[in-house]
Structure 1
Amino acid sequence: MKVYLAGPEVFLPNAREVLDAKIALAQRYGFTPVSPGDLEIPAYETKRGHGLAISAVNEKLMLSAEMIIANLTPFRGIAADVGTVYELGFMCARNCPAYGFSNVARDHFERLKAYYGGAVHPDAQGRPRGPDGLAVEDFEMIENLMLDGGIEARGGAFVTREVAAEAMFTDLGAFEECLSIAARRLLARH
């Protein structure tokens, strides 16, 4: 079964090393992995053209896959990498089995409270709001409800761990747990 390995690892200084480690783990669990960075991107005259080529290659890779495991560890803020979120949505729209992991165990609401410096309070109807008046999700989910919901609706699992800050995008324990769960659930059927 072909699995698309989504995540912000492509931005790491040692991206190839981390991607190769994820690929090796996926193979060990019986999957055929594909991930961003697997295909060569043709040269383009403009930055925009190059960016569009990367997008097209990644969509081609996703179309070749039958499932996704997405690294939803908060990236450059309180939530998952937006490119990874797009990829998860793309695969969910194809109704592919979806799995996610995060190396941050605090749920979305706790991270939003921290973002607002703890200043989240219920409004007159009891809905939590930040000091800017914006409503805050409080559904006891790891990420935005659409991500948790998309994974669950497709029979997947969302695995979390709390790891040291310096290992946030290199610790593969939660990723390997996703592989183990997916192998038990999916490979037996194929």
Structure 2
Amino acid sequence: MTPIVYLAGPEVFLPAGLELIERKRELARVHGFEPTQLPAEMLPVEAEDAYDRGVQISMLNERRMDMATVCIANLTPFRGISADVGTVYELGYMAAQRKAVFGYTNDPRPYRDRAADHYAASGPVEPDGEGVLRAPDGQKVEDHRMADNLMLDGGISLRGGRFVRAAVPAAWDDLTAFEAC
């Protein structure tokens, strides 16, 4: 039986998102997977207002995840220093169902380095007197040498999956790390 893969990621928001999603779907087929249908955000949805449309899209995406046996999530930082929150939800939804989960990022830097870049204008991210890495505002910064929050790296690893980091910074449309998953 062909494994069904749910392709999670923020590509739906990109200008050439549909084209990129179709490339990923084709690569999944080349590697022996059957991708679920297109993300609900790209399908016609009948709803009277924006809120109802959002709820309907959420429901349709959860149905697609229920049908899948594996998830590959694009965890490249999106609109900030961490992965897209919707993608993280989808990865967690699949992991909670004890399905195989994999992730990739086109940003090879560890989370702590991205946090340091984020805070650079207001001051350094550095250890406090007890050796705890802190941002200029006093918040603790995770320093596990992981690609993102420890729950993402750890959750994928605990389920036997892989979190693949690009070898060098890569553009959104570079699918090398995706294909490694």
Scaled by the length of structure 2, the TM-score of the pair is 0.92
- Report the Cα offset of residue 120 of structure 1: 1.3
User: Greater shift after overlay, 98-107 or 110-119?
Assistant: 110-119
Q: d(CA) in 2 for partners of 1:108 and 1:174?
A: 17
Runs of 4+ in 1 over 4 A off after TM superposition: none
Secondary structure of 1:104's counterpart equals coil
The residue number in structure 1 matching 2:19 is 17
Q: d(CA) in 1 for partners of 2:45 and 2:65?
A: 18
- Report the Cα offset of residue 38 of structure 1: 8.3
- Which of residues 46, 49, 54 in structure 2 aligns to 1:51? 54
The residue number in structure 1 matching 2:113 is 110
Instruction: Specify the code of the residue in structure 2 equivalent to 1:30.
Output: G
Secondary structure of 1:146's counterpart equals helix
Q: d(CA) in 1 for partners of 2:134 and 2:126?
A: 6
- Report the Cα offset of residue 55 of structure 1: 0.5
Scaled by the length of structure 1, the TM-score of the pair is 0.88
- Report the Cα offset of residue 126 of structure 1: 1.3
Contact 2:109 2:147 in 1 (8 A): yes
Q: Which consecutive unaligned segments of at least 5 residues does structure 1 have? A: 179-190
Q: Which consecutive unaligned segments of at least 5 residues does structure 2 have? A: none
Contact 2:111 2:149 in 1 (8 A): yes
Between the two proteins, the alignment pairs up a number of residues equal to 175
Q: Identity of paired residues, percent?
A: 50
- Report the Cα offset of residue 33 of structure 1: 0.8
Q: d(CA) in 2 for partners of 1:65 and 1:39?
A: 18
Matched, 1:157 2:162: yes
RMSD value, Cα: 1.4
Matched, 1:140 2:145: yes
